Amino acid sequence: MARLAPALLLASLAAACGGHQPTSPSPTPPAPSPARAELTFAGDPESTEGATWTLRGEVDGGFVDLQGILLKPTGPGPFPAVVLSHGNSGRAATFGATVGHEMRTWGLVCVATNYTHAGGVPIGAPGSAGEPGASAANVARAHATLSVLARLGYVDLRRVAAHGHSMGAFVTTAFAAAYPDEIRAASHTSGGARPDRLAIIGAAPSDAVVASMRTPYQWHHGEADPIVPLLMDELLDVALARSGAPHEGHVYPGEDHDIAQHPEVLERVRAWYRAHGVL
């Protein structure tokens, strides 16, 4: 594999900002408190389009004003679930309409919210457009989706996964590291980590964030990705090895950034979830 010179690597990183054995079921994790937040739905989560939702009020001791999408398999459940995190300038509905539709066929309830790096939708709260990727605001948004799942009555909260793409991959890594008792397994496409000293690419999680990872983690990256360099997932892999979390990574020769719907990627993610007790 060709390697870039150190100066080019640094420039690329800055530009990027724009088999295991099955585990036994764990105790039901503590759900985030939804007591003071109003949750509303529009549409049918079992329909092709799914349902939209809004969550406004206090969650986890802070104010949230969020919109998202919910996709549900047919039947009463209980079902496992996955928190989906969209990329830069994307939105919850778009990611749900692609990767979410596939994952629903696996038997997963799919929930997604709009992040601070969303495009064409209200920014909401917490956070601002200046806090993209793995910011504290977006981790709080991802965690707030668990309060949505907790109210549904048909989700097994012991079997919740997290999955993201690109800027949403950065969110997924930080989210899974912050809440290892609530996320059973995690995966992403086209993401990675940054050295602690490179604060210039703060949208990506740092080595220090990954150091606390206990959630089984799987990553996927196109070898020819011009947006998020493969180096970033290679750095993540090193950090995951240091953390001791079960992990594996897959590189796709000749592929670029847009591998979120690659059949081999999805097949491997599904196998990862099976191996770690989500499915």
CATH superfamily of 29-275: Alpha/Beta hydrolase fold, catalytic domain (3.40.50.1820)
pTM of whole model > 0.75? yes
What are the CA-CA distances from residue 85 to residues 1, 19, 253 (Å)? 29, 25, 25
Distant-in-sequence, close-in-space partners of 227: CB < 8 Å, separation ≥ 6: 15, 16, 18, 166, 190, 256, 257
Domain ranges of the chain: 29-275
Q: How many CB atoms lie within 10 A of CB 212?
A: 14
DSSP, collapsed to helix, strand or coil, labels residue 192 as coil
- pLDDT confidence of residue 142: 98
Mean pLDDT by 10 residues, the chain (279 residues): 38 41 42 70 97 96 97 97 97 95 98 97 95 97 98 97 98 98 98 78 87 97 96 97 97 98 98 98
Distant-in-sequence, close-in-space partners of 247: CB < 8 Å, separation ≥ 6: 216, 217, 218, 219, 237, 240, 241
